[in-house]
Structure 1
Amino acid sequence: MKIDFANLTKAYQEHSSEFENAVFDVMSSARYILGKDTEDFEASLKNYVKSDFALGVSSGTDALLLAMMALGIRSGDEVITTPFTFIATAETIACLGAKPVFVDIDEKTFNIDPSKIEAAITDRTKAILPVSLYGQMADMNTINEIASKHNLFVIEDAAQSFGAQYNGQLSCSMSTVSCTSFFPAKPLGCFGDGGALFTNDKDLYEKMKAMRVHGQVKRYTHKYIGMGGRLDNLQAAVLNVKLPYYDEDIKRRQNVAKKYTALLADHLITPEIEKGRTSVWAQYTIRVKDRTALQSSLKEVGIPTAVHYPIPMHLQECFAYLGYKIGDFPISEICANEVMSLPMNPYLSDQEIEYITTNLIKNL
C-alpha cells in the first residue's frame, strides 16, 4: 500500500467540476486582481470567523508581515514568540528590524507556554505572537490578559488553525489581528499561495487594506509604505468552492485523529487537545525515539512522514545573532528531536489508518 500524506489530488477530484467552473469564470472575465471572487471570499471569511473585518492576502507570511507593519513594529522593537514553529513566524519579525524574543513551549500542546511570557517582557516589547500549532489554538485568554496588563498587541499566527475553537470562539477572532495561510497543504488550502488577515479594529483594517496595495489610498496616492500583498483572484475562486465544505472536512480530519489516537495511545506519546479547545489537525504529530530509523522503515512500506520542525528557531543559523544556545529552550529542543507527523487528510480510510498504525507500532 502507498499512502498519500496530504492527498491534494483527492481534494481536487472531490469538487473538480466546481473548481474548473470557478476558475474558468475568472479567466473568461479577465479580472485577475481584486475581483468579485476576492470580495465574496473576504465576506465569507468574516462571517465564518465572526470577525468584523477580513482581508485576503498573498500568503500567510505576507499576512504576518502586513500585520506587524500596520501595527508600527519596527527596528529596536521586540516581539515575543515561540521558537517551535515554521520560520515565517520569526522571520517576519526580523525582516522589520525587530527582535524575536523566544519563550519555551508547553510540552502537551506544543504551543507557547503563557506562564513564561511575562518574564520575557521588556520596555521594548510591542507584541506577543503566539502560534496555534498543528491545528490547536494557543491559550489565548491567558495571553490576552498578559497583553492587556502590559499594553501589548496580540498577533495570532493561525496558519495551521483556521476553523479551530477555543471555548466556543474561533481561531482568528481573539486577538488584535490574526493571520492565516491557505497554502495547499493547510486544512483549507488553495491551489497556490494565499492567506488572510482578521481584525475587529476598523482603522487597522483600512490601514492593512491600503498597505496590501503598496500603501495606496487612491490611484497613485500612497499614504503608507506597503507591499504587493493581494490575494490572487483565481485562488479566491478556488477557496470560494472549498469553504462551504470546510466544516465537514474538519469533522473528517477529527475522525482520522480519533482513530489514530485510539490505536496508538498505548504505545507512544499522542497529541493532547486541551479542555474547551478543538483542533483542525493540520498535522497529527506524535513523539518517538530514534525517529530517523523509524521514518526509514515506514518509507520502505509506502508510509510518508514529516518532521514539523527539526530545528527550533533559536538554533537556526540565521538567528545566531540573537545569541541563543543549546539548552535555552529545553522543551522545544526535546520536541524538535522527537516529533513526527503522520499522514493527515480527510480522505484516509480505516484500512489505511490500520496499515499506518500497525507498521508504526511494529517498528517502534
Structure 2
Amino acid sequence: MGNVVPIFRPEVVKEGVPPELQSALSQVIAEGRFIKGCEVAAFEKELCLELQTHSVVTTGNGTDALLACLMALDLREGDEVITPAYGYPAAVEMMCLLGLKPVLVDVNWQTFNIEVGLLKDAVTSKTKAILPIHLFGLPASMDDILHFAEQHGLPVIEDAAQCLGAEVEIEGTRRKAGTAGRLGCTSFFPTKNLGCWGDGGAVFVNSDDVQLTQKIRMILNHGQRDKYLHEILGLNSRLDTLQAVVLRHALKYLRDANEKRVEIAIRYQEELREISEIELPPFPHNPLNIPNVFTIKVKPQLRQQLKSFLWEKGISTQIYYPLAMHWQKAYQSRIRSGSSLTNAEKLTHCVLSLPLFPSMEKAEQDRVILALNEFFRNHE
C-alpha cells in the first residue's frame, strides 16, 4: 500500500526528540524524580498562565479529571447532570460510577455541541450541574449555557479535551475554552491539541476558590491533605514527571501547532467545498475555533464505501462516534433522555473524520483531497 496517511501522527514520530527535550528528560531520569517532580508544578503554573485562569491541577488522565470535578461538587446519588448525547462517553461513565443520573440532551447539527434551547425542558428539581463537551475543536455556546446555568443556580463543568487553545466569548469578552465554567478539564492523550506521550489530564479551577482547589488536590491524592491522614474519599491520579516534561515542551509550541491545525482545516474547506455530497464542519468561519479533527458528514449509504476507498488509497479515517451515548449498553439503564435525540442518532450514521494533525505534510493532504474528489466523481 505504500506510506499510509495516518489519522494522527505525534510530532516526535516525524521529527524525533529535540535536544532541548532530550536533555530535560535525561535530567529527570538521572535524578529519578518520576513522581511529583518539580516539573509537574512548573507545568501547572505555565498552563495556568497560558489559559489565564486561577489554578490548574494535573491528573493521571482526562477521565480522572472529570471524576474529580464531579466529586468536588459534592453531588449525591440520584442527582442529575445534563450533558450532550453525542461524543465520547467518559463523563457519562464517571457519573454512573458515582451513582449520578446523566440526562442526555440532543446536539446542534452544525457544531456537534449541546443544543442550548433544549436545556429548559431537561431541568428538574434533581438537576445539580451541566457538563458541556467541546467537540472536535468547536467550543459549545458557553455564553448561553452560563446564562441558563446562572438562572437555575447550576455549576458548569467544561470538558475541553478536544479544543485546548480555542476561545469562547462571554458577554463580549474572550476566554479560553475550559475556563468559562466553574470547573474545566482536559486530557493530554497524544491526539489532543496539547498531548503527551501517554496519559495525562488536568482540572481547571476558574475562580479564586482556594478551598475548591485544595479539595480537588486532596481527591486526587487519596483524600489526603497531609500524608497518611485521609479526610475525604479520593483516588490516586497524578501526572508523571516525565509526561510533565513532555507537556512543558509541547506547551511552548501549542499556538504554532494550533495555527497549523487551522491552516490544514482552511485548505480542506477550500478544496472540498465543491463536493456537494458532503457537508463540511464550520471551520474556519469562527476564528475562535481550533480544529482537533476534521469531521465531514456523508450520506450513510456511502460512508463505508468512502472509508474503504480511502483506506485502499492509503488514507486512514475514523468514525467518531459510531454509537450515541443512549445506545451504549453500559449506560442504557442509568441515563435519562432530556430531549429527543434525533441529531445525535443521525450523526452516528454519517460522520467521518479525515486526517488533521500539525505534522501533516502538504503532500499528505493532497492525497486526501485528490482521493475524495476521485471517489465522488465516480458517484455522480
Counterpart Cα distance in 2 of 1:12 and 1:39: 29
| Candidates 104, 120, 133, aligned match of 1:131 | 133
Gap change, CA 1:104 and 1:187, over 3 Å in 2 = same
- Per the alignment, residue 200 of structure 2 pairs with 194
Counterpart Cα distance in 2 of 1:276 and 1:360: 25
Counterpart Cα distance in 2 of 1:323 and 1:153: 20
RMSD: 1.7
Counterpart Cα distance in 1 of 2:92 and 2:203: 17
Deviation at 1:74, TM superposition (A): 2.7
Gap change, CA 1:323 and 1:134, over 3 Å in 2 = closer
Preserved contact between residue 10 and residue 347 of structure 1 (Cα < 8 Å): no
| Candidates 57, 65, 68, aligned match of 2:67 | 65
Counterpart Cα distance in 2 of 1:281 and 1:9: 17
- Per the alignment, residue 330 of structure 1 pairs with 342
Gap change, CA 1:141 and 1:273, over 3 Å in 2 = farther
Preserved contact between residue 82 and residue 104 of structure 1 (Cα < 8 Å): yes
Runs of 4+ in structure 1 off by over 6 angstroms are: none
Superposed CA offset, 1:316-352 (max 9, x none):
1112214779x94110111111000000111222222
- Per the alignment, residue 241 of structure 1 pairs with 249
- Per the alignment, residue 184 of structure 1 pairs with 190
Superposed CA offset, 1:165-220 (max 9, x none):
11321112101100100001111110110001101232211100111101101011
Preserved contact between residue 286 and residue 341 of structure 1 (Cα < 8 Å): yes
- Per the alignment, residue 99 of structure 1 pairs with 101
Give the paired residue count.
Answer: 363
Structure 1 window deviating more from structure 2 (65-74 vs 6-15): it is 6-15
Counterpart Cα distance in 2 of 1:323 and 1:350: 44
Preserved contact between residue 137 and residue 277 of structure 1 (Cα < 8 Å): no
- Secondary structure of 2:130's counterpart equals strand
Counterpart Cα distance in 1 of 2:119 and 2:150: 13
- Per the alignment, residue 293 of structure 2 pairs with 283
Deviation at 1:273, TM superposition (A): 4.5
- Secondary structure of 1:65's counterpart equals helix
Unaligned runs of 5+ in 1: none
Taking the TM superposition and a 5 Å limit, the aligned residue runs for 1:148-159 are 148-159=150-161
1:293 aligns with 2:305: yes
Preserved contact between residue 129 and residue 154 of structure 1 (Cα < 8 Å): yes
- Per the alignment, residue 51 of structure 2 pairs with 49
Counterpart Cα distance in 1 of 2:54 and 2:253: 22
- Per the alignment, residue 225 of structure 1 pairs with 233
Q: Which amino acid is 1:176 matched to?
A: R
Structure 1 window deviating more from structure 2 (14-23 vs 244-253): it is 14-23
Structure 1 window deviating more from structure 2 (155-164 vs 8-17): it is 8-17
Counterpart Cα distance in 1 of 2:27 and 2:203: 26
Same amino acid, percent of matched pairs: 35
Q: Which amino acid is 2:272 matched to?
A: L
Counterpart Cα distance in 2 of 1:149 and 1:272: 29
| Candidates 240, 251, 266, aligned match of 1:258 | 266
Counterpart Cα distance in 2 of 1:14 and 1:159: 25
Q: Which amino acid is 1:242 matched to?
A: A
Counterpart Cα distance in 1 of 2:83 and 2:291: 21
Counterpart Cα distance in 2 of 1:322 and 1:37: 40
Counterpart Cα distance in 1 of 2:356 and 2:141: 24
Structure 1 window deviating more from structure 2 (74-83 vs 345-354): it is 345-354
Preserved contact between residue 182 and residue 188 of structure 1 (Cα < 8 Å): yes
What TM-score, normalized to structure 1? Answer: 0.96
Counterpart Cα distance in 2 of 1:9 and 1:247: 14
- Per the alignment, residue 304 of structure 1 pairs with 316
1:271 aligns with 2:268: no
What TM-score, normalized to structure 2? Answer: 0.92
Q: Which amino acid is 2:181 matched to?
A: S
Superposed CA offset, 1:19-48 (max 9, x none):
322221111111111111000000001101
| Candidates 349, 352, 355, aligned match of 1:340 | 352
Gap change, CA 1:227 and 1:170, over 3 Å in 2 = same
Unaligned runs of 5+ in 2: none
| Candidates 37, 40, 48, aligned match of 1:38 | 40
Taking the TM superposition and a 5 Å limit, the aligned residue runs for 1:150-169 are 150-167=152-169, 168-169=174-175
Counterpart Cα distance in 2 of 1:270 and 1:75: 41
Taking the TM superposition and a 5 Å limit, the aligned residue runs for 1:81-92 are 81-92=83-94
Counterpart Cα distance in 2 of 1:61 and 1:255: 30
